[in-house]
Structures are given as C-alpha cells and as structure tokens.
A and B are shown apart, each in its own frame.
Chain A
Amino acid sequence: MKRIIATLALTTALIAPGLALARPVTLTVNLSQYGGQGAYLALYVTDPSGAYAGSLWMAGGKSKYYKHLSDWAKFTGGDVSQVDGITGASVGAGRNLELTMDLADALFDAGYTLHVDAAVEDMRDSPNEIAMPLTSEGAGQPVRGRRYIADLTYTF
C-alpha cells in the first residue's frame, strides 16, 4: 500500500485554487501480476476536445524512460516540468498505488477523461492503458487496464 497525499504538491491547473470548489479524490491503482520489473505510470487528464489538460501523477523517477509512456510524451512533448513535484517511484507487479488529491469540481461530469499510460522494461509499451471519463457515477467503479493495471478506482 502506497498512500500519497499530493494536495500541497500539486500546482497544475487541475487543482482548484480554493478548497470550496474542490473535493478530495482518492485514486487507487492495483497492478496485475504481469511478471516484470516495476511499471512506469503516467496519470493525466484530457479535456472534452481531447486535448491535454494536465498531469496528476508520474510513477517512475527517471525521465529518460518517459518516452515509453508514448501518449503522455506526445501530449507534453516529453516536458518533465509537467510532473515537477508530482513524481514518485515506479510500481511493482502486483502492488498498488494510492493517491489522494484535491481535484476541481469542474473536472467531473464535464467531458474530461482520465488517462493512464504504462510501460515496463523489456515488455510492451502500453499508452492508453486506461482512458476513463471523470463522472460522479463513475466514482467507486473499478475499471480494468489493458495490460498491466488490474483495476483503477477513484472515490470521493
């Protein structure tokens, strides 16, 4: 279990400037037993038009490997400053990652999509591992990843 309180560290536009307009959201990512080294995960959000809106978390400390999170890398041009202060360790097979952060109310039920890109050494790159709309109904509903993520859940 890895619990990260990211509230104070977050500086991106996704974080509400005042707590009145935000709610604490807990993201739980459970990895499957894929039988490899620790997975790099990029969690980020796109807006209703499909454009990159901002990053929530980067699991994995070495930016030279970020190119394998290829959708995130394309959206950001590999710009490491996008994940300044919101970077943690890679997540081992079968382990989980739990993040708590204050997210703006405006992100929910407004067509925003939460994406996860995943990559593991010597195994396939999995951009678009998960793409799930951010909605109030979706809270508490686990979503399966394509290759490495057993399930991802967000709860208020």
Chain B
Amino acid sequence: MIRLFHRWPALLATVLLLVLAVSGTILSVFPAVERTTAPAPVAGQTVADLAGKVIAAYPGVEQIRRAPSGKITAYWFDGNTPGAAVIDPATGLATGNADPSALQGWLTDLHRALFLQDLGRWITAAAALALLVVALTGAALIAQRQGGWSLWFSRMRGPTAGRWHGELARVAVVSLVLSSGTALWMTAATFELLPVDEASPALPAETSGLVGLAPGDMSALAAVPVTALRDLTFPYAGDTTDVFTLTTTAGMGYVDQGTGTLLAWQASGPWTRAGEWIYLMHTGEGAALWGLILGLLTLSIPALAITGIQVWLKGRKARLSLPGMVHAEHAETILLVASESGSTLGFARALGLALQEVGGSVHLAPLAAYAPDRYAAAKQVLVLAATWGNGDAPVAARGLDARLAATPPHPRAKMAILGFGDRSFPAFCAFAERLDHAARQAGWSMLLPLERIDRQSAQAFARWSRDLGQVIGYPLDILHQPEMPRSTPLRLVSRQDYGEALQAPTAILTFALPQVSLRDRLAGRGFSRFHAGDLLGILPVGSAIPRFYSLASGTADGFVEIVVKKQSGGLCSGQLMDLEPGQMVRAFIKPNPGFRPDRSKAPLLLIGAGTGIGPLAGFIRANRGKRPIHLWFGARHPQADFLYADALEGWSSQGHLASLNTAFSRTAARQHVQDRLRTDADRVRHLVGQGARIMVCGGRDMATGVRETLAEILAPLGLCPDQLRAGGRYAEDTY
C-alpha cells in the first residue's frame, strides 16, 4: 500500500520535479555568489549611520533595502531620473548594479511558476506535495526494507538499483522533506491561505510638523542595527506630515522626520516570523552555505528518479499470469506466490508451466488470495515465499502467516512450502519458516519438509522440483535460470594446483580480463566493474545452469581469479579442473554486495577454510590502504592445500595483512579453524572490542562452527555474531 503512494506520485511528477530540481539547484548558487561579492558589512553599524551616509551621497534617496543576504540597495531620484545601486555601507556609495539578474529572474519564474503565473504556482505546489508524499512514504519503505525504524540507518543490502535508490534517499530525504514542505508553506502564504499577521501599524494621526533633522541624528534609527534592517522608506521632500517608514526583522514602525522619534510600532506576528524562517530555509537567502548544501542534495532527485524507475520496471516484468492456467475451483495444483522483487514469481511460473506440460492443471495466484474453501479440485497447494528485509514478509503478503494459521485447511489437499532468500541476510527465509509453522498449526499435512533456496539457486530449485514430482506423481526436473545474464568467454592464463596428495584436487584459476563493451563500461556492468567477493557464474559445457564461484580478484587487479575444488561427479568443477591455460570457459559476473569489506579503518577479521580463502585473499590483495586485516585460515596440510601460501607471505611483508593464523587438520595438531580461533580468543575479543568486522567464507558446516565458536568467545563482551550481523559487522558467504 505504501508502495503505491510512493510510486505513482513519483512517476507522475517526475518530469516536473526534474525541472524544479535542476532550476532549484542552480538558484541555490546565487545567494552564495551574492554573499561573496556583496560589500563587507560594517560591524556595529546603526541604521542612522547608514541612512546618513546614503543621504549624503544621494540626496534624492527614497528607499534603502537590506536583503537577508546582507546586500544593501538604495533607490533615489536625481531630478526625474530614477537611480538605484548596491551600496557599500562603509561609504554610502554605489558599488554595483541593483538590477536583479535576468537569469536569476528567469530561473525563479520557472522554478516557482513555470512562467504560468498563478496556474503555474499551483502546478509546482502539486509537484512539491508529490515530492513530500514520495519522501515520507520512501522513508517508511526504507524502514520496512531495513526491518524497522530503529534499523533505518543500518547497512543496506539487496540488488544494486534498489540499494542505490535507498542509499541516496537516506542522504537526501531530510532535505527533500524540507524543500517540499517549505515550498508548500510558501505557496499557501502567497495565496493567503495562512493567517496574515504582518506588522502594519496605523499611521500616526499627528506628527511634530518639523522637518530637517538629519537621519544620522535620529534616535529611533540609531537604536536599530543594520543587521536587523529590512527597509527604510524616506518621507516625501517638503511634506511635513510624512514620516520615515522603518521595517526590521522584528516589525514595522514610523519615525518622525523632525524629532527622529518613533511615532508608532508594531511587532511582526508569529506567522510572519515563521514565514521568514521558511523562506530562508527554502532559498538559502541569508544562509548561503545552507543554500548550497540544499541545492546539492536537490540534485539527488534526478538520480532517485532514474534508480526508482529502474526498480519499478524490474518489478513490472514480474506480473502474475500464467498462460493456460485454470480457475482456482478447477485446478489440481494451486500455486501461491509471495514475492517482492519478482524473481520468486519466475520460479513459480516455471513450476506452473512444467506441471501443465506433464498434464497437470494449475492456478497461479498471489498468496494474498489464499482461500482454501475455493480450491474444490485441488490435490496440492504449493507456496513459494520470498523473505524481505530483516525476515519480513513481502509487502503484498503481510500478515498472511497469521491468516494461514487461522484458516481451516483444505479437507483433501496437501501443502508444500518453498522459501526463497539470501543467506547474507540475518533472517534467511524467516517468512517461509513462519508460513511453515502456521500451516502445521492450522493442520495442513505437508508433502515435503520446508526447503530454502539461497539466492535463486537454480540447482537447489531443480532438486526440490524432483522431490516434489516424486511425491505428487509427476516427472519434474525444472531448470529455471532467473534472468540469465549474457556470458563472456574467459581465457585461462595460469593455474596453481594443490591438494593432489590428499586426493582433493584444488586449483587457483586465473583468467585474463575480457574485453568489455562500451555499453557495459558506461553502465558499470559485467566485467567492467567487479570486486573480490562477487560471484563468477560459469556455464559448464552441456548445461544451461551456471555454477557460482566467489571471485578472488577485482577489476583493479586486472585479472579474474577463482578457487575451485574438484567435486566428485561435479560437472562444472570437473571441466574447470581439466582446463589448460589458453582454453576458454563461458562466464558472467553476479554482484554480491552483501559480502564486501566496508570502507572503514576498523580491524577486519577474515575467517575461511579451504576454497573459502578465495574472496578473502582478494580482500587482502586489495588492501592498499593498509587496514589491519587478520586472517584465520583452515586447511588440511601446509604441504598440500595451503592455498595462497606464498602470496600471503608477500602481503604480510607489504603490510596488506596484519596477522596470519593457520589451522591444519591433517597435521599432528589436528586443528580446525574454530580451534585456532579458540586458541586466539583473547586477541579476537580485543579486536572485536575495537570495533572489528568479521567476514566468514567457506562451507556451511564450517560457517556454523565458526559462528558457534565466536558466540562463545564473544559472550564475555555481551556480544554475539547475530548482534554483530544486525549492526553490519558480521558477514558470511557459504556454499
């Protein structure tokens, strides 16, 4: 729901907001320029002193104005010729042209009214309202995505476009709320929709009737510092009943031209004072630096528009439909989807099509449409559920776990639940787990135990589909590759082999950086920009399903490197292990922003075992800033599979690596990396106490062991890995 109120105002107002943002940003520069070019103010100067100097220089002066920026302008008549100039308060003499800049006037008219006068003001106000709504709903969406307002500032994860959109929005949202809110206030003031309490004292009934006192000698003017001046209007020459009209930041009054005393005074009301603050906040006039900052942040609008549209288009691709599907009443298989980004829906469609192909009848619907009493012909209900943010349900599936638990199950049909998620998130597949729990509570009998798919793994899905096919009596083996990226041939340059002695062949494979198309380079896609820790998808010959390997190098290294261990019967690892320098494989990059060192200088603890050393070695190699990195590495034997042994030594001596701590399981010590951590517990505690971040890479069992060990080690500090993970200080990449 919030999403709709975020998306549509944003899309409708985009073009208008781009015009307003660009013009507003340019306008924000003017107060700063004015500030640097305006004559210096005279400290402690009074209005009397200023008026005396100006009238000496320009005897026909009618009006002196001081802009919030401090610029003082005088207007006079010399005979019948009108004159005006910016005044140096020290001398009272002209220093510059008083005419408003034509460009500034043009931009102002565009920015506030699109050259359409009042109609234009209403249109820009509508755009400001749209911006305000979009900014507030956007902040709420960030809170939702992050798992609550308390995690609003925590590290963002997820796909690139959405993450950029969110990161930018977090920086800019306050300024956007201010800009749009103040704009609306100013429009309301312009159209007199707000109370008017501007000072306008009644003209004095009587004046002294005297004339001729020099403004420099007037006590009422001597009491006001120039910094408080807004406007001083002189009386008509020779009109003894006329008065000086003095407007200041505090109010307005009249000064007798014969005695120099205040005849009447009225203070500005709270609405007027608030209005002046609002004007300053919006325009930066009188606060040049603030104006520049606001202007700069306003430039986020074009970037937010572009990334926002990308997010929207991605979501649109994934609408609910399936060619050939039947009504819920007639379908043998009910396929329910709870999807946020649409990738889960892709799997559901593939499943639905495959079932239809083998003769099944299928109904595909969002989980929100769950209604078991309608599924008259159903034999099975299959629920595919993504988990969003910090274990939340996708927006469209909020609260459905409770509904599932509270609704009586179908009398005959059985259920299977498949969870989709990302292991780099703290609560992997938590929503699917809640659904599973709810279904059991409601009394559903389950076809299969809950399965969890990590990062759209095609292999895991294919495995699950085979299991499902067996229990429902259809031959299923679904190869669904979400958004197959274009692959590029990579040429192997060199390989270092390990582990032969232990019958566990392992190799570091180094490929040449491929040619990158200009389009990819401009978009920063594919091989034009990747980091250690990102994934290299490799398409083995004879299979459409890629296998993913963590990258041990980034673009800056100038090569593409992975660590591969031969799996018994593994198609892809077998092909890679047989690869000779000069031969090619087809591959593509899959970004993995959840597993990347942050940019802080805090100590970094890298923990890995076996081929898990790959990305960690990449981080160390890239550590040119000499951040203190400590590596705990587990292998079998120093002579057999101590991957990167020489390189690690070199990086230690170059200062890339602060400490290297190894554990070998096939030596006399029989140590695993967890054991080594326990040995080093004091040091680990000390580093974590200093704010260290921890990154773990390796097999799933090893990662679990490390997590448990660290939980023990950190307990005296009152910390645990889950807590660190929530604070963005603990990341895992497991396989």
Contacts and interface: CB of A to CB of B under 8 A. Distances in A.
10 contacts: A35-B99, A35-B102, A37-B105, A62-B190, A62-B191, A63-B192, A64-B196, A70-B233, A78-B200, A124-B75
Contact of B203 (A37, A67, A77, A128): A77
Interface of B: 62-63, 75, 77, 80, 82, 84, 99-100, 102, 105, 109, 117-118, 189-192, 196, 198, 200, 202-203, 233, 236, 245
Given A61-B118, A74-B203, A146 B190 contact: no
A136 to B, nearest CB: 26
Contact of B233 (A77, A89, A125): A125
Nearest to A90: B117
A23 B233 CA distance: 38
A146 B202 contact: no
Interface in A28-48: 35-38
A147 interface: yes
A89 B117 contact: yes
A123 B203 CA distance: 24
Contacts, number: 47
Contacts of B192: 62-64
A146 B77 contact: yes
A77 B202 contact: yes
A147 B189 CA distance: 28
A137 interface: no
A89 B233 CA distance: 26
Contacts of B75: 124-125
Nearest to A120: B100
Contact of B100 (A64, A122, A126, A146): A122
A36 B118 contact: no
Contacts of A126: 82
Interface of A: 35-38, 61-64, 67, 70, 73-74, 77-78, 89, 122-126, 128, 146-147
Contacts of B198: 64, 67
A1 B52 CA distance: 44
B586 to A, nearest CB: 64
B82 A124 contact: yes
A61 B118 CA distance: 10
B189 A64 contact: yes
A60 to B, nearest CB: 11
A77 B204 CA distance: 11
B109 A37 contact: yes
Contacts of B84: 123-124
- Please name the 6 residue pairs, one residue from A and one from B, whose CB atoms are nearest each other, closest first: A124-B75, A122-B100, A147-B82, A74-B203, A78-B200, A124-B84
Interface centre among A89, A124, A128, A146 (most CB of B within 10 A): A124
Nearest to A70: B233
A124 B117 contact: no
Contacts of B191: 62
Nearest to B202: A77
A127 to B, nearest CB: 9
B233 A123 contact: no
A125 B77 contact: no
Contacts of A124: 62-63, 75, 82, 84
Contacts of B100: 36, 122-123
Contacts of B189: 64
In this complex, which of A61, A63, A89, A123 has the most chain B Cβ atoms within 10 angstroms of its Cβ?
Answer: A123
B117 A70 contact: no
A36 B192 CA distance: 23
B319 to A, nearest CB: 48
Contacts of B245: 70
Nearest to A77: B202
Looking at A35, A64, A77, the one whose CB has the most chain B CB atoms below 10 A away is: A64
B109 A125 contact: no
A37 B104 CA distance: 11
A143 to B, nearest CB: 12
A24 to B, nearest CB: 30
A123 B82 CA distance: 12
| Interface core residue of A35, A73, A122, A147 (most chain B CB under 10 Å) | A122
Contacts of A63: 192
A15 B109 CA distance: 38
Given A64-B196, A77-B203, A128 B102 contact: no
Contacts of B196: 64
A51 to B, nearest CB: 12
A125 B64 CA distance: 11
Contacts of A70: 233, 245
Contacts of A74: 203
Given A62-B192, A124-B62, A124-B63, A67 B200 contact: yes
B64 to A, nearest CB: 11
